[in-house]
Structure formats: structure tokens, C-alpha cells
Structure 1
Amino acid sequence: MPLVVKAAVAFGPNEPLQIREVTLADPGPGEVLVKLRATGLCHSDLSALEGKIAQTFPVILGHEGIGDVVAVGDGVTDFAPGDRVMPYLVPDCGECAFCKSGRTNLCVQMMVRRQSAKTPFSLDGQPIASYCGLGTFAEMTVVPVDSLVKVNPGARTDHACCIACGVTTGLGAALITAKVTPGSSVAVFGTGGVGLSVIQGAKIAGATRIIAIDTNPAKAAIALKLGATDFINPKDVENIVVEVQKLTGMGVDFAFDCVGHPGLARQALESTNPAWGLSVCVGVIPAGQELSAAPFNLMTGRKWTGSLMGGAKRVDVARYVDMYVDGTYGLDDLVSHHLTLDEVNKGFEMMRSGEAVRSVVVYVAD
């Protein structure tokens, strides 16, 4: 029987989200009904809200969720009521060429579901899109089974929810995409939730010099606490690339643009060692913008690549939750604000201003 649940609905780009009671359909074949305990506010949600990435409206945003299985649809055998689960942005259909390759997380179903009109949510009989098939800005949601992962129930949910996207993106960029090496040097451009997770990933990998770069001086303390060895505010220096070279001699071994800005992506590339440096684009660059580089910066041996969700699969998400539970890395300093669903617009305001490192909507307290 369909349920009535509370949700934050975006009716148009750049409009405040409205708290409404919406109808949630029963899980169909291959689907799971999840009661959410918490969800993080991610910059990708803001990008969709601001029209920087294509999005159908009205929509229930949100994709950094964690919760418990309530019911399963026909054919679902891997999940049962009571399981602690995390919806994941990138499906794992197991059938497409990407999934079968064993080398990538770029399942074709990710974009299919981004563009699909199918949704479990409706309001007054009219469909409401579910962001990437997840829609975690609702008390409950229905998720395809291949976008769901069973996770360690010992994880603190108001922190672990961030592993569903931002933390996994950052850890994966360092550990899976770049494969940061012991004793290496790293520069991280942008120290939001993703950048701070890159820093933690680089520390786990054994990097000995980790340079955090951000225009917000308030980010210095947390970046250094989580593993950065140096902090540079670009506003305080004449040339950020030169400053990185001063600290490292010939440039860093690995650089990460965690903002999603073409100019920063180029600076990240130029800050790497000219013979073997690897620069990774992690932040989402708005549609319509392009990257450019002086050809010689690549011809000498540098490499330039991107990292979608850190290259992580569902199994990696579960592994990162386990690593959080066993203390390999921490989230106490990453989650700066706890909100109710009614305060979701405040969360986006703090994201825009830089006041929040990561805000989390708590549905059910641990």
C-alpha cells in the first residue's frame, strides 16, 4: 500500500525547497523500500538545484543517505527488512560493458536513471522526480536493488551517510583513481567535504607531504587536523603554482581539483611534477565549460584525468564504512552541522557561504 512521507521538494531551479507530504509507491520487482536515518547535503545537489547540471523539476534531491530496509519487492533476495543499507549514486547492473570490464564504476544505468521519467514519488497525482533514482531528501524512499549496498550497522549514521558520496569520492580519488603512493607529495585544491576526504585518503596511502589549498582561512585548522602538512590561501600569494613548487622542488606527485573550476583544474595540473605528475579532476565542472592546457605541460610526461565518484563501486562503499568503523579515518570534524528536514534550505545557504563543512539532515537519531 502506498505511503505518505515528508519530503523536501524542489519545484524549479534556484527556488527554495518546499516541505511537502508526498506519496511513495510500494517497491516493485527488484526494488527496496528504505526508511532513512540521515542524509548529507552534497554540492551535487546544489549544482542540480542551481541548474549547473541537467535536472527535471519538480524533484526530490538528495543522494547521501543511510537507513534500514522496510520491505522488498518481488525477486529481491540479497536484502531483508532490518538490514542497514546505503543507496549509492552509481548502480552496478552487472550487465553493461562497463560493469563487466571490472575496471570502472561507470554503469550505464546511472545516466539512464538520471534521464528516466520513472519515479516512486508523486504529489496530487503528479510525478515528482527522484534524484538519480535515490531521492534521500525524503523520510523514506524506494531504490533499485543494484543501487543499494548493505553496510556495517556499527557506523554512526549521522556521520556515515556522507560516505554515500562525498567521502567515497574523495577517498576513492586518492586510493583508486590516483593510487597515491607512500612517501609521495599531494596538493588538494578545495577543502570542502570531498577535498578533506582526499586529504584523508592521501594520508591513509602514506603520502608524506599533503598541501591543502583554499581561499577560506577557516578551513586551515581542519585540513591540518585531518592530515594536511601545509595550508596555502591563494589570496595570500602571487602565484599558487609557484608556491607549491617552492614546497616540493619540482611540483607534487599528485594534485586534485576538488572544486570543479577550469582555472583551478589547470593550476592543479601545472603544480604537478613535469615528468610524472598526475592531476585528477574531482569536482564537477558546470556543463558548457571546457578545460585547456599548454600542450607542453602534457608532453613532458604529466597525466590529466578525471574521477567520477572516486572510481568506487558498491563494494568499495561498504569497505569505506568498515574503515570508518575501525578508525582508519574519522568523520567527526567533517560533519559540522546537524539539521532537521525543515532546515534543508538553511543547509544550502551555509554551503554557499562556506560556513558549513558538511551539513546532515537527521531523520532518526542513533
Structure 2
Amino acid sequence: MATAGKVIKCKAAVAWEPNKPLVIEEVEVAPPQANEIRFKVVATAVCHSDLYHLFESMPKDGFPAVLGHEAAGIVESVGPGVTEFQPGDKVIPIFLSQCKECRFCKSPKTNQCDLAWINPEALVGAESRFTCKGKKVLQFAGTSTFSEYTVINQIAVAKIDPAAPLEKVCLIGCGICTGYGAAVNTAKVEPGSTCAVFGLGAVGLAAVMGCKAAGAKRIIAVDLNPDKAEKAKVLGATDFVNPKDHNKPIHEVLAGMTNGGVDYSVECVGNVEVMRSAFESCMPAWGVSVIVGWTELNDVAIRPTHLISGRTWKGSLFGGFKSKDGVTKMVKAYLDKKLQLDEFITHNMTLDQVNDAIELMKHSKCVLDQFSV
């Protein structure tokens, strides 16, 4: 392409400081360096993790930054050493890399990677390819998709089927894999089992979908927002429970509904009290509870006897998928009509409306806002 090897000037939503609206700016995106690709972001979604780091946890020295990590686009150019990609390829960036060479990537026991951006201190990196008004703008989670163009290491990009609609499959780069895989890969939900999913944002709804795909007989969706009930049932939930409708702890409510507890629970809120409730909702003798929601704000505690009796407590990152392989697999499942995505998109917006999208998510007025870039 004519832009290969040159700096590209384009629009991006820049977070100049925490707890402030993003600002649409003209940024300069440098050419990709060794083992990197530069691609045009066609569609990206707002994930609650972006809000979490903007408003709750990102250190002040993590700004200015370009947020965004759930996207899909088309390769514009590649740097030296890149052999897997070429201009014109459709791709999905992933915050969790898969180098395929490290001890983690070679192990079937984990989906983590030695080179991944999973350390909270490394959520923004010095090797950013963005500048704005003469100042370096940091890159968030190795992706930074709230921009018309971005640069990313090839180990954190998945090449996908050319037939894939980018405005739909962009959701696979985070929330869909995270929730769906938590049920299928991490919890390993079994046919005929009973499940509970706590929190019905995009990740929780994807977990509901994963429980259904795994053959669960009963799927109890738990959320404080009654507006989420219908969407959960569309994706496979058999029951909806609002904790505010009951005068006793939710784990006692679920135990009463299931003759002692669910076989599997998946926590998708990022709240330590909910994590404990989800755990205690499991059948004491064999229940499996999976923590998916991200938080660093508090410690979570449990009574040892609740573990000794036979429950298992697990964590799940990106749904246990080996990232590049998993994304490719999930895109194929969507194209084969074995995975629902359209139902997750509640608003279609432009990059200029990113702050409106954030407000909708902050006030639980959407599942996922997808916007064209």
C-alpha cells in the first residue's frame, strides 16, 4: 500500500488523564517495526475493562494512552520478520499473546504466554507507535484500538477468514471468548448439569451461551438489572434471579432452587463479594466455581471448610483459549452458525461517539457498543 513505511496521521480517542472523557485527536502512527503489523481498525467495541482502567485502576503514569482492545481490521503493512501476515489480511488483535515458543504456550495446562501483557504494571508500554502533539501516547494492553490505525506485535494478532464480517467478529477478541471459554474450557461444564452465571454483561452472557453449548440442563442467570433477563434467555438461560428480590443471601436462594447448590458457577462481575457468593452457590461436594471478573481493588476470602468439603475454585483468563488459535476457531464457529454474536450488539456508533458509548456502558444501558472507526 502507498502508506507502507510512512507515518500515518489519523483520528484516535486519547485518554489524557484518568477520570476524564476521551478526546478525539489527530495522532501519528509510526510504521511497524520488527515482528509488528500495522492495520486499519474497521470496528471496535467498548469493553468494561477499558472503563475499569480509565476510571478505577490505571496509574497516573499510564497516561496519555489510547485505550481499546476488542476489535477487528485489515492489515495495512508489516514490519521485518513478519511472515504470517500480509497487507489485506483480515485480523483480530488480542490482548493475550500466543508466541507458540515459550514454556506456557507449549504447555496444554495454560493459555498464558511469557510475552503477554497480563501484568497490571505492563498495561501500557514504552514501545508505543503513537504520538500526538509531539508527545508520546502510550499503548494500552498491546492493542489500542480506539484509533483508525494501530500497531501490534504479530504474536498477539489472529488472521481470520476473509468472509468474516468485521463489525461482528470484533467481539471475539475479548468478551465472547472470555465468557464462553470460562464455561467450556475452564469450568468444563458437563451435559445435564446445573449452572449459575453471575453478572450479565457481555462476558456473562457469553458464559450463558457457553453453558448452553456444553449441554447444561439448567442455567440460572443472576443480575441486579431485570432488563437483562430476556437477553439471557435468548442466549440459553432457563432462569433469571435478581438478588434484590430476595431477603436472604443469593447463595442460599440458589441452594434452595437446586437441592443444595449448582454444579458450576461463573462470576463475571469483578466484585469480591460476588466472587464469594458464586463460590458458595456451588454444591459443597463437587461444585466448580470460576472467577472471570477482573479487579485489583480488594482481597477475596473464603472459609477453608468450604474448600475442604470438595468445591473447586478456579480463575480464567481469556476463557482458557490459546489466544490466536482460539480466536480463529471462534470466528469459524460464528460463520458456521454455531455461535451467536449479533445478539450482543445493542448500539452501532462512530469513533466520535466513544464517550457516549462509555456513558451507556457505565449506566448499564447496553450489552456491547460497537463502533466503526
TM-score (norm 1): 0.96
Q: Output one character per residue of 1:61-113: Cα deviation in whole Å (capped at 9) or x when no partner.
A: 00001011111111111111111100011111233322222321221222375
Structure 1 gaps, min length 5: none
Other-structure match for 2:36: 31
Please state how far the C-alpha of 1:324 moved relative to its aligned partner. Answer: 1.1
**Distance in 2 of aligned mates of 1:275 and 1:358:** 37
The equivalent position to 1:123 in structure 2, one of 129, 132, 135, is 132
**Distance in 1 of aligned mates of 2:208 and 2:243:** 18
**Distance in 1 of aligned mates of 2:26 and 2:143:** 17
Other-structure match for 2:301: 292
**Distance in 1 of aligned mates of 2:191 and 2:161:** 28
Matches within 5 A, 1:314-325: 314-325=324-335
Q: Output one character per residue of 1:161-217: Cα deviation in whole Å (capped at 9) or x when no partner.
A: 111000010111011111111111110000000000000011000001000000000
The equivalent position to 2:22 in structure 1, one of 1, 17, 22, is 17
**Distance in 2 of aligned mates of 1:338 and 1:114:** 27
**Distance in 1 of aligned mates of 2:307 and 2:286:** 10
Classify 1:305/1:53 alpha carbon distance in 2 versus 1 (closer, same or farther; 3 Å). Answer: farther
Does 2:245 align with 1:236?
A: yes
The equivalent position to 2:354 in structure 1, one of 318, 323, 344, is 344
**Distance in 1 of aligned mates of 2:152 and 2:79:** 10
Q: Output one character per residue of 1:101-134: Cα deviation in whole Å (capped at 9) or x when no partner.
A: 2321221222375353110100122110111111
Matches within 5 A, 1:1-366: 1-54=6-59, 56-111=62-117, 114-238=123-247, 239-285=249-295, 287-313=296-322, 314-363=324-373
**Distance in 2 of aligned mates of 1:108 and 1:166:** 22
Please state how far the C-alpha of 1:53 moved relative to its aligned partner. Answer: 4.5
Classify the secondary structure of the residue corresponding to 2:314. strand
**Distance in 2 of aligned mates of 1:16 and 1:130:** 17
**Distance in 2 of aligned mates of 1:347 and 1:336:** 10
Superposition CA RMSD, Å:
1.3
Please state how far the C-alpha of 1:326 moved relative to its aligned partner. Answer: 1.0
Please state how far the C-alpha of 1:54 moved relative to its aligned partner. Answer: 4.6
**Distance in 2 of aligned mates of 1:321 and 1:199:** 18
**Distance in 1 of aligned mates of 2:285 and 2:89:** 49
**Distance in 1 of aligned mates of 2:346 and 2:205:** 13
Contact conserved, 2:181 with 2:210, CA < 8 A, in 1? Answer: yes
Contact conserved, 2:125 with 2:140, CA < 8 A, in 1? Answer: no
**Distance in 2 of aligned mates of 1:242 and 1:257:** 16
Q: What is the identity, as a one-letter code, of the residue corresponding to 2:231?
A: I
Please state how far the C-alpha of 1:241 moved relative to its aligned partner. Answer: 1.2
Q: What is the identity, as a one-letter code, of the residue corresponding to 2:314?
A: T
**Distance in 2 of aligned mates of 1:54 and 1:316:** 31
**Distance in 2 of aligned mates of 1:333 and 1:114:** 30
Classify the secondary structure of the residue corresponding to 1:143. strand
**Distance in 1 of aligned mates of 2:145 and 2:109:** 28
**Distance in 2 of aligned mates of 1:170 and 1:130:** 25
Classify the secondary structure of the residue corresponding to 1:101. coil
Q: What is the identity, as a one-letter code, of the residue corresponding to 2:39?
A: V
What number of residue pairs does the alignment pair up? 362
Please state how far the C-alpha of 1:155 moved relative to its aligned partner. Answer: 2.4
